[in-house]
Structure 1
Amino acid sequence: MSVALIILGGILVGGTISLVKQGASRFSIVLTGVLALLALAGGILWMIPGEGS
């Protein structure tokens, strides 16, 4: 699952860069950037061993 989240985060980072280059609205850039950061953070946190598994 962590690999899937990191891949998704990478795709969203690329989308954010593309939106900036295209001059999209600030809302769409920020929203895509926040989703990218959440996906990357989730992927990294998922790799940390915990008590549940």
Structure 2
Amino acid sequence: KIKSISPVTVTNTVKRNMKATGINTNICGLHTLRSASSTKAFQLGTGIQKIKQYAH
């Protein structure tokens, strides 16, 4: 059986990778990353309903 990845594991992995690329995680966190990726998806033509579908 395959185990699910815990939310803490995902958070720690993303933060570690953000730090490795030089992003200051004290001022730029996961919410900022999600917001920026949603904005970029919209700019590239993804419909707002599709973006909202993945927001939660």
Q: Same fold (TM over 0.5)?
A: no
Short-chain TM bin: 0.3 to 0.5
TM-score by length of 1: 0.41
**Structure with the higher fraction of residues in helix conformation:** 1
TM-score by length of 2: 0.39
